[in-house]
Amino acid sequence: MYAYIVRRLLMLVPVLFGVSIFIFVIMRIVPGDVAMTILGTDATPESLKQLREDFGLNLPIYQQYFEWMAGVLTGDFGESMRTGKEVLPDILTRFKLTFELTLISAVLSWIIAIPLGIIAAIKRNTKTDFGVRLISLLGVSVPNFALATVLILILALFFSYSPPVGYVGFFEDPATNLQIMILPSIVLGTAMAGAVMRMTRSSILEILRQDFIRTIRAKGARERVVIFQHALRNAMIPILTIIGMQIGTLLGGTVIIEQIFSLPGLGQLVLTAITQRDFTVVQGAVLFIAFVFVLINLLVDLLYSYLDPRITYK
Amino acid sequence: MSPLLEIKDLSIDLYADSEKFNVINNINLTIEKKQKYGIVGESGSGKSLTSLSIMNLLPDALAISGGEILFNGDTDLTNLSKKEFLKIRGNEISMIFQEPMTALDPLYPIEHQIMEVLKFHGSYSKKQMRQLAVEMLEKVGIPRPQQLIKEYPHQLSGGMRQRIMIAIALICNPRLLIADEPTTALDVTIQAQILDLMNELTDNYDTSILMITHDLGVIAETCERVAVMYSGEVVEEAAVTTLFKNPTHPYTVGLLESVKSLGDKSNKLYSIPGNVPTPKQLTGGCRFASRCPHAMEICRSQAPPLFSIDADHKSKCWLYGEEEVVNG
């Protein structure tokens, strides 16, 4: 098991290496560069050239890459070309927000989705089931930004409530922080819940058809035991797969939701950095997001083997 | 003394495409205490449905439409609430299934799956339950039960798993053990071992067996009485020795013939022509008429009742029409 974990972590190296080359090259192929965005359209060719030389952008691309990589390998992701701030601490600060947002959204979605999915499976083809399926379809298909806007509007118009402006960290002021986080979490959680609900329903239905469920009923188990101890646990693997992918994606930042609720998260950082062609920030953030995504996948794989004794890693 | 289980005029209907089809038609069975009773029939004859209806485990699309199932003389199993049934299942009546490979929950160790039954039906400490489970595993012939109890189903062979199913089924000392094709999925060498084990254990526990099988050999080896089912009906019912010596219903004769021809290398294998009619194809007459070599005019228009051949032998065939009528 430990050997497996170590091997998986070692596999991070080629993955991150590939990602780093990809993003490095892409950023340099995209038209426009940081010098142009800083100096604006009236800049003289001389001043542009001067600034590019300051950033080392005149060097051959492989040399730029090696210089950047040398820094990254020693934990120095460089400085933002726009703000001069160090890249890594900035990413980590924003990741805290994104992490909290992901966590609350995910927990909210599980609380709604898993019980409803189970109920829908048990009451298959009844009105309850159709109701749950309708809700989950809405959850999956209503766009985030639409739900977010409607939510803000309803709260403002009918309840004269608007969430606090300006982000406050959880450990500074939990009450305000939660007020800020809850609306975007509901919006994100709804979309996640839709998918999880559908997967829970179909996965439980699949398991309830299995022979061993009949054995458990034949033993005299109450329906509660049948569903929670046996059906749900067996159904958890596909549900976990979906949840893992959702969390991996969300941890990479949610550009639109962060924009609507003006949250300074990872998504916003990347978006701003891209429009400003802030190469170092984009590269650092993308590398970090890839790292987190791979780590979440590893975590999900380890959870599989915890849930199912047939899955072992050597 | 009242019999252990009495199935009276049981009918089961299948609901599909908002239509209703009869799949079990007015069957009557009586299983005495400590008796080993067999139901034999081919796929689709309704033998498994009969056993599932005793356990109230029929799939959603099927429902009992008439008759009663009396347990211990007075308890009508078709009338029990869900809660009352929980006390019967696994405790008074237990069941083992055909597929040992898929009949155990893959995520729990053997220990959990055996102790679970004890938890449902008694109040034991964890230590007592583990003790009882280990003892039971010894009885079903599992080597090293102390270690094996910690293993998961996928680590065991089919024969081992069927032994564990038997352990689970018998640990609460049930009055009736329903065995639905318990050896069909096993290697031939293991089949005899499992049947012997079931015979021996049920003798020790005074448990009756209802053996559901398509294999007349299994019936010969384990049962005292047997009912032959065809297309949802009991077509012949007799003591096992009588049935083998003196089969009366043309279907039973055909079944025995197809087994006998297996040992005879000179002849072609005998088989009954045609297939079991689907519920949609049923007409008013005898359900076997379309495949019967002796079919007469009356067979196609009117379903025969169960005629008594003698006191202990009944046959649902017009060939025996002159005898006394049992069920009007």
Is the CB of A205 inside 8 Å of chain B's CB atoms?
no
Reported for A68-71, long-range contacts at CB under 8 A and 24+ positions apart, including other chains, are A68/A24, A68/A280, A68/A283, A69/A20
Sites in chain B below the pLDDT cut of 50? 323-328
- pLDDT value of position B50: 93
> Between 3.60.15.10, 3.40.50.720, 3.40.50.300, 3.40.50.2000, what CATH number should domain B5-92+174-320 receive?
3.40.50.300
B120 vs A220: CB contact, 8 Å cut-off? yes
Q: For residue A310, give the nearest of B88, B120, B154 by CB distance.
A: B154
Residue B56's SS3 state is coil
ipTM, interface predicted TM-score of the complex:
0.88
> Of the candidates B89, B94, B102, which has its C-beta nearest A211's C-beta?
B102
> What is the percent of chain A where pLDDT is above 90?
32
Cβ–Cβ of B104/A234 closer than 8 Å?
A: no
pLDDT of residue A66: 87
Nearest chain B Cα distance for residue A304, angstroms: 11
Q: What is the pLDDT of residues A276-314, one digit of tens each?
A: 888 888 888 999 999 998 889 889 988 988 888 888 877
Mean pLDDT of A215-229: 93
| A218 to B94: CB separation less than 8 angstroms, yes or no | yes
Distant-in-sequence, close-in-space partners of A37: CB < 8 Å, separation ≥ 6:
A82, A275, A276, A277
Residue A33: the pLDDT is 77
Tokens linked to A98? 């994104």
d(CA B72, CA B74): 6
Q: Which residues of A fall within a CB distance of 8 Å from B55?
A: 218
Check B107 against A219: CB less than 8 A apart. no
Contact B97 A307 (CB under 8 A): no
Amino acid, single-letter form, for residue B20: K
Is the CB of residue A145 less than 8 Å away from at least one CB of chain B?
Answer: no
- Burial class of residue A29, CB neighbours in 10 A (0-12, 13-18, 19+): exposed
- Asked whether B321 and B302 are in contact (CB, 8 A), the reply is no
Nearest chain A Cα distance for residue B141, angstroms: 21
Nearest-neighbour CA in chain B from A160: distance (Å):
51
Q: How far apart are the C-alpha atoms of A87 and A269, rounded to whole Å?
A: 10
Greatest extent of chain B over all pairs of C-alpha atoms, in Å: 68
What pLDDT does B327 receive?
A: 47
- Of B120, B113, B137, B118, the closest CA to residue B129 belongs to B118
The pair of structure tokens assigned to A248 is 């991996």
Tell me what pLDDT residue B64 has.
93
Is B250 in contact with B293 (CB distance < 8 Å)?
yes
B239-254 pLDDT, tens per residue?
A: 999 999 999 999 999 8
- A-B CB pairs within 8 A amount to 73
Mean of the pLDDT values across residues A223-249? 92
Nearest-angstrom CA–CA distance, A177 and A164: 9
Name which of B86, B98, B107, B173 to mutate to probe chain A: the one with the most chain A Cβ atoms within 10 A of its Cβ: B107
The mean pLDDT of chain A is 88
Write out the DSSP string of B64-81. Answer: EEEEEEEETTTEEGGG--
User: What residues of chain A lie within 8 A of the CB of B86, using their CB?
Assistant: 220-222
Within 10 angstroms of residue A9's Cβ, the number of other Cβ atoms is: 12
Place of tokens 């979605």: A109
CA gap B56, B62 in Å, rounded: 11
> What CATH number does the domain located at A87-307 have?
1.10.3720.10
pLDDT number for residue A276:
85
* DSSP state, residue A253: -
